A and B are shown apart, each in its own frame.
Chain A
Amino acid sequence: MQQDKTWGNRIFDIVNHGLLLLIGIVTVIPFIYILAVSFTSPHEVAKGGFILFPKEFSLAAYRYIFSTDTLIRSLGVSIYITVIGTLLNLLFTSLMAYPLSRRYLRGRQPILLGVLFTMLFSGGMIPTYFVVKSLHLTDTLWSLMLPTAISAFNLIVLKNFFQAIPDELEDAAKIDGCNDVGVLFRIVLPLSMPAMATFSLFYAVAHWNSFFNAVIYINDSEKWPVQVWLREIVILAQSRIGDTSIEETEIQPLTIRMAVIVFSTIPIMLVYPFLQKHFAKGVMLGSVKG
């Protein structure tokens, strides 16, 4: 870090910073727009134009979406399946990944091939529905957590991560009297915190965004996660709005749609900064270690 920067360096820095700033702004502006519109009065929005700051501040949209307890309840459902579901994901994935990472495990290759197979070929919607139904999971929140409890891709990455942990550590633990479960929970998992943090983010975001399974498996609208409502309100409004010839469908004003987006995005965005520092170290950390 010397002071004697050449002109070339300085110009490079300026261009670099400028470019990054620009990309940053481009990324942030849509969020500001959504936030601003959600706080603007509906007739101000109807006039059109691009809003980055509400001229007429209004809470009408939020008052509307909170006038029933639907969204709050579904937010509760989303938080529930995200927290519990992610814990299950981490537990099941590491319970399966660890044995598979041990080279002395017999029958490891066929199982790994089996896992790989599911990544390439899936059973399809209707057979999966039959499985869920015959396990009596339909109409329960378990149907959103158990069928997706282990992601084959994450499993393989985690297995590779575990594999990179030196066998000598395991040997040492065993000599000290640890059994296999002890090795996993006391040695391997504590060493894998960056990977666990990363996967919990992957899994949590997937749970937070899940909507299709909810529509297919859950009949009781009181158990829908927030994304089902979000999709109904935002996406359908866009696709239907101009089709005037179709019977007049109820179209939610833009402000309400934006308020719902804000409402359903903020919780998961709040989680992100806390996991981001682990995320930065990356999933691939394990693969280059040692």
Chain B
Amino acid sequence: MKAAKKKAVAVLSTMALVTGLLAGCGSDEGQAAEGGVQNVSIAIAQVGDVPSKGNEVQQKIEAYTNTKLDIQWIPASAYNDKINVMIASSDMPKIVKVQYNPTVTSAMRNDVFWEVGPLLKDYKNLSAQNERFFNNIKVEGKIYGVPVFSDIARATVIYRKDWFEKLNLKVPTTPDEWYETIKTLATSDPDGDGQDNTFGLMLFKKYNEDQYSFTTRLGVSFGAPNKWKVEDDGSFTPEFMTPEYMQVLDLLKRLYSEKLLNQDFAVFDSTEAEKKYDSGVVGMRVGVAQNGKSQQERLSKNDPDGVVDIAGLLGANGDRVAGQTGNSGILAFPKATVKSEEELKNLLSFLDKLMDPEMATLLMRGIEDKHYKKAGEDQVEMSDFDAFQREVKPYRDNLPYVEGYNVPKLKDTELGEKGTDLAKELAEHAVPNPALTLYSPTYGDRGADLDQMIADAQTKYIMGKIDENGWKQEIENWANAGGTKIREEYAEDYKKQAQ
């Protein structure tokens, strides 16, 4: 009897389990649009905390654009994996934020996303933006989405104005001036504590990687190309084979051998370098225009008398700034879910509306009297920056906006405003990377390894572990390992697109 009861329990619980499973699978996503309201599902990156559903910012966006938003936040820790899974399984919302990387560009090449290039001219805000934003996301000359705009060029020198004045220095432009300035900052005790504890410049281990590379930024100001140079005959030369770029390496080599540069830069973590700058023992750095203000804030905590200023990273040959991609992702429209061109147009006009004055102000400044308040004619002031970071920034960082477009000016510290203005001005002098949108299968396959090879060789050269011949040998190795092929593929694709 008892046994039978227990058996019944076992059977029942198994059945309950199975029905539970089935019940869990029931829900379906088919919701129809009600009363002209458009359903927009978006997959975008999580920024900080995920805002709660139906929060005020989202409500305002929905009300203005007449949509019902369904936002899927993807944590950065697995962003690309998730996007890859989504692309592979065609399981995508109507708008997906993707990065310009080999998986995505090959998906674009394979018609996974709608091409929007020819349609863009019909949207007043999107078409008003600098053409370069769109050129930088082209794949085989076609545009497959709307960029999440970011500055095209922003490299500046961030320096200790008080030290520079004390030592009678000016912002350097040529390799020799850079050497002299760094040497003076390191050796003549600008902080006046009688100890030899200051640096002119500090490097950390990723100094020559990615579009944020210190060497590229400095090299461009000396006249080197931005990553790749197109020769007159249409062939491609990597930056590290140009004499102008070598000036940077020679400068660093000289600084290193004279112990004017931190000797452990090859393994120095960027976090540590950051702390050194904050504690006020380093004289200058190459950074982003907008960083000047935050640098000043952090420095003031440790050194109340410290004064930070910024200046464009300008060379003797005129203004040259290394251009960047100009976006922090692309909002693309998958063909699997966006069924008709009609729907595509609706989605584009949704994004376009987000750049109208009312929405641009919401995204960049927040809600009046909650995040910002008026400060004079067409100028506003942040009143609750923490709340802005938590409630508004997650939306702003993922949707199209351009600082200074359709938005009231922000009252800021002098340095903060200078940074904003400078970033704008620098865009005029941006030197683009000509290979940015070119297609090289070899680079897609082995680019990361090849880049690393050269990055390591540069470190060895600066540290004096290899001489000029050794460096030439490393370039030779790079060329044989696939470098030459990349050069050829770029040249070929460049020729094809120029036609």
Chain A interfacial positions (CB closer than 8 Å to B): 46, 48, 68, 70, 88, 125-126, 129-130, 133, 135-142, 146, 177-178, 181-182, 185-186, 211-212, 215-216, 219-222, 224, 228, 231-232, 235-236, 238, 241-250, 252
Contacts and interface: CB of A to CB of B under 8 A. Distances in A.
Instruction: Please list the 7 inter-chain residue pairs (A to B) with the smallest Cβ-Cβ separation, ordered nearest first.
Output: A242-B270, A245-B212, A136-B25, A215-B78, A242-B271, A221-B50, A242-B274
A241 B270 CA distance: 8
B371 to A, nearest CB: 15
A9 to B, nearest CB: 46
A236 B288 contact: no
A71 to B, nearest CB: 9
B88 A231 contact: no
Contact of B270 (A211, A221, A244): A244
Contacts of A129: 85, 88-89
29 contacts: A125-B81, A129-B88, A129-B89, A130-B89, A133-B91, A136-B25, A142-B24, A142-B25, A177-B3, A182-B7, A185-B10, A215-B78, A216-B82, A221-B50, A221-B73, A232-B46, A235-B77, A242-B204, A242-B274, A243-B212, A243-B270, A244-B274, A244-B288, A245-B212, A245-B288, A247-B290, A248-B290, A249-B47, A252-B48
Given A215-B82, A244-B287, A248-B294, 17 more contacts: A46-B301, A88-B17, A125-B85, A126-B85, A129-B89, A133-B89, A142-B21, A142-B24, A182-B7, A219-B43, A228-B75, A243-B212, A247-B150, A247-B290, A247-B328, A248-B290, A250-B389
A242 B89 contact: no
A247 B288 contact: yes
Contacts of B6: 182, 185-186
B328 A140 contact: no
Interface residues of B, number: 54
Contact of A231 (B10, B47, B77, B150): B77
Given A133-B91, A243-B270, A146 B85 contact: no
Contacts of A130: 89
B442 to A, nearest CB: 25
B3 A219 contact: no
A126 B81 CA distance: 10
A219 B10 contact: no
B139 interface: no
A221 B274 contact: no
A215 B7 contact: no
A137 B24 contact: yes
A221 B91 contact: no
Contacts of B56: none
B76 interface: yes
A135 B25 contact: yes
Nearest to A246: B212
A244 B393 contact: no
A181 B7 contact: yes
B75 A126 contact: no
B52 interface: yes
Interface of B: 3, 6-7, 10, 17, 21, 24-27, 43, 46-50, 52-53, 72-78, 81-82, 84-85, 88-89, 91, 150, 155, 204, 206, 212, 269-275, 285, 287-288, 290-291, 294, 301, 328, 389, 393
A70 B89 contact: no
Contacts of B272: 242
Contact of B75 (A48, A139, A142, A231): A231
Nearest to A130: B89
Contacts of B48: 250, 252
A282 to B, nearest CB: 29
Given A68-B52, A216-B82, A245-B288, A232 B77 contact: yes
Contacts of B275: 48
B85 A212 contact: no
Nearest to A212: B78
B24 A126 contact: no
A238 B76 CA distance: 13
B3 A178 contact: yes
Contacts of B285: 244
Taking each of B3, B6, B155, which has the highest tally of chain A beta carbons within 10 Å of its own beta carbon?
B3
A221 B46 contact: yes
Contacts of B274: 241-242, 244
A138 B24 CA distance: 10
A216 B85 contact: yes
A198 B48 CA distance: 37
A125 to B, nearest CB: 6
Contacts of B301: 46
Contact of B273 (A135, A228, A242, A246): A242
A216 B17 CA distance: 24
A58 B405 CA distance: 42
A241 B271 contact: yes
A46 B47 CA distance: 23
Taking each of A126, A221, A245, which has the highest tally of chain B beta carbons within 10 Å of its own beta carbon?
A245
Contact of B81 (A139, A146, A216, A244): A216
A135 B146 CA distance: 34
A135 B24 CA distance: 10
Contact of B47 (A70, A126, A243, A250): A250
B89 A126 contact: yes
Contacts of B21: 142, 146
B85 A244 contact: no
B273 A140 contact: no
B269 A236 contact: no
Contacts of B288: 244-245, 247-248
Contacts of B328: 247
A231 B77 CA distance: 7
Contacts of A219: 43, 72
A212 B78 CA distance: 7
A83 to B, nearest CB: 14
A161 to B, nearest CB: 21
Contact of B25 (A140, A216, A224): A140
B75 to A, nearest CB: 5
Given A244-B291, A250-B393, A232 B24 contact: no
Contact of A126 (B7, B17, B53, B88): B88
